Amino acid sequence: MPAFDAVVAGAGGFIGGHLVRALLAEGKTVRAVDIKPFDRWDQRHEAADNLSRDVGLLDAAREVLDGGAGEVYNLACNMGGMGFIETHKAECMLSVLPSTHMLMAARDAGVGRFFYSSSACVYAGYKQTDPNLTALKEEDAYPADAEDGYGWEKLFSERMCRHFREDFGLETRIARYHNIYGPEGTWDGGREKAPAAACRKVAIAALTGQPEVEIWGDGEQTRSFTYVDDCVHGTRMLTRGDFVDPLNVGSSEITTINNLYHVVAGIAGVDIKLKHIDGPLGVRGRNSDNTLIQKEFNWEPSISLREGLTSTYRWIHDQVARKLGK
């Protein structure tokens, strides 16, 4: 028997914390690992075996998988919203170290399944120049033109997972996440993604009575956003399934960034005035084509943007109010 039913690397991060919670709720024994000290974890669950380790180091990766595991979920990476990945490309590329060393340690420990969290940033930029784009199918990652830095590391690590499966028999599974959001995540400091930033800015407007909210660019760029509960369900489903190639885990409900802010403002019950400023924008349009995951698993993310933003806004509003002393 393996030492743990599941090992989650990157467990101190946003998705990792929710994933550990879900695995524990299944009755799994879970080892939760993150490079950050415990006081910086987004969530820490006492029922898990929690370790602060840098799995970018091979010895540490081998330590956390000592005794084996039924399932390994590798979510360990440097990441954030566009404001972060556009200005920290080398840091994002260095995520190849935990990607590589967790694969090597998992191979040597004889784990059952290895999940790798990839990203929609692997998709070719030349297919994402129009906000009214055709949704991205898994085949659209090639010919390759990934997001510089972050996307290239993800695409390379996808290939590593494939070859570890082909060459060593390690059962790897890959999800391409599309803009995961929800409560218990980063909401300020520069690494937050668009939904969290929108919730923070609208919360500040609601709490201070100042209606002006800044948005990078013209706000007409399009995205789909995936609520974390859908992400965690899809992650476990793919890990335990038989489909071996990368799959989109993303909502197909597309929206402009301007509309994202207006939806949050409607939830908050406030009027806002959008001020468009210069800033990093990423691709012009991106959406998830869910044809393949529907075919293979008869499933796709189903939590609506408004439903997901409602719980996200309430949580972030409380954090902002506490910070402002209101």
* CA 31/CA 9 separation, integer angstroms: 9
* CA 323/CA 326 separation, integer angstroms: 8
Phi, psi torsion values for 288, nearest 5 degrees: -100, 125
- Those residues whose C-beta lies under 8 Å from the C-beta of residue 73, and which sit 6 or more positions away, are 6, 7, 8, 9, 10, 16, 19, 115, 117, 235, 239
Phi, psi torsion values for 57, nearest 5 degrees: -100, 130
The catalytic residue among 73, 116, 123, 150 is 150
60, two tokens: 């540490």
181 carries an active-site annotation? no
256, two tokens: 């402009």
* CA 186/CA 149 separation, integer angstroms: 21
Three-state DSSP class for residue 238: helix
Q: Which residues are catalytic?
A: 150
